[in-house]
Amino acid sequence: MSEKIVISPTSRQEGHAELVMEVDDEGIVTKGRYFSITPVRGLEKMVTGKAPETAPVMVQRICGVCPIPHTLASVEAMDDSLGIEIPKAARQLRELTLAAHHINSHAIHQFLIAPDVVPENLFTTAVESVSEIRKTVQMVVDMVAGEGIHPSDVRIGGMASNISEVARKRLYARCKQLKPKLDAHVELIIGLVADKGFPEGLGVTNAPTLATDVLYGNRDNFDLDRFTEIMPESWYDDPEVAKRACSTIPLYDGRNVEVGPRARLATYGDFKERGVVAQHVARAVEMKTALSKCIDILGELDTSAPVMADFDVTGTNKLGVGAIEGPRGMDVHMAQVADGKTQFYSCLVPTTWNIPTMGPATEGFHHEFGPHVIRAYDPCLSCATHMIVVDDEDRSILKNEMVRI
């Protein structure tokens, strides 16, 4: 006799989602459905009809964890629509910003999964390691892109300014100093995941991978003609789930796909492993790749080179595409500019791609492993809305819950 296990909301991830699992008499998942319950963001509508420069500033607020990928995807889409070729140094500074953000975001994820894999006697060591790494890479983003959270200096046409030679040398030294610490951290995380003893095959699916680049992103490797988007009612076979799901289902070649660090390593390397352990290992390995990228760029950057292209903001109504490889996967923004205004804007955020893949990834194993499978994909469901009702007189909290709008 089958039973339905519902986890709502799923925990230690960004945003809110539900995991609904049908299980057999042994508690084995026979059908897994994962879906977003985070309210509609609506930012695409807010930037429509406004000057192109508005979009990167607004859409970076889609998520407080992923502001860097959203900013970069936005300016890349605008650059494409406006026919802009940015200077080499600007491209290097953008790549440097994203590489540092990859390390920061992956470290945050490892903090979130620490209760799953880190034994009590090593917990402080692991958390302090995460904090030390984040301190350095946040400094890189802060100095290169203007701010560590919302990067004010990433602009349509390039960057607001180049960094100084003093800043380049300082960041280069800090990143070089971080390398042995990061290598030790990666070894620690991979070892702890191995020691956890997850069942072999946990989280494995047959979904194909989709990635556009090793680390940064390349719109030339994303074919819009192979992309379709369907409503939840056409994907979920449970009417109640379909009714509650808040995100559409993106497909590539008519199939759900996997995006993220493992997808990048599999697409552009020889990384063949799949499943929960492979997700954690790929994410950790990618931190080393990203730090090497930071060091390489800082070692060769010409700080006297221009970083802003000349361009006409009028636009030609071309649909521009920005494909950025965010920590959680491919982040695609599309923008259309004409008469100096944004006529159309749309975002395909990374977790949207993984949503239809994560549910089936829980199948075939005991439902207690379900949350581990979901967290291995590091879902980020964009911004959630919360509301607190406070008594006007004594400021006590009368109501504290998520409000669906």
Residues making up the annotated binding site for Ni(2+) are 63, 66, 380
Q: Tokens standing for 361?
A: 């990834």
Sign of dihedral through CA atoms 114, 115, 121, 123? Answer: positive
Q: How many residues does the chain have?
A: 405
Rounded CA separation 267/270 (Å): 8
What single-letter DSSP state applies at residue 308? Answer: B
* Axis-axis angle for helices 120-145, 88-112 (nearest 10): 160
Rounded CA separation 219/324 (Å): 8
Rounded CA separation 358/381 (Å): 13
SS3 353: helix
Q: Do strands 249-252 and 316-326 pair parallel, antiparallel, or not at all (unpaired)?
A: unpaired
Rounded CA separation 402/386 (Å): 5
Give me the torsion for CA of 356, 360, 362, 364, rounded to 10°: 180
Sign of dihedral through CA atoms 18, 20, 21, 25? Answer: positive
Q: Which residues pair with 390 in a beta bridge?
A: 397
- Residue whose C-alpha is closest to residue 86's, from 159, 138, 26: 159
Q: Is the separation of the CB atoms in 73 and 332 below 8 Å?
A: yes
Rounded CA separation 207/258 (Å): 6
What single-letter DSSP state applies at residue 208? Answer: P
SS3 388: strand
Annotated binding site: 44, 63, 66, 380, 383, 386
Q: Is the separation of the CB atoms in 363 and 32 below 8 Å?
A: yes
Annotated binding site for Mg(2+): 44, 386
Q: How many CB atoms lie within 10 A of CB 393?
A: 6
Q: Residues near 336 by Cβ (< 8 Å), separated by ≥ 6? A: 81, 315, 317, 318, 319, 320, 342, 343, 344, 345
- Residue whose C-alpha is closest to residue 113's, from 283, 262, 234: 283
Annotated binding site for Fe cation: 66, 383
SS3 3: strand
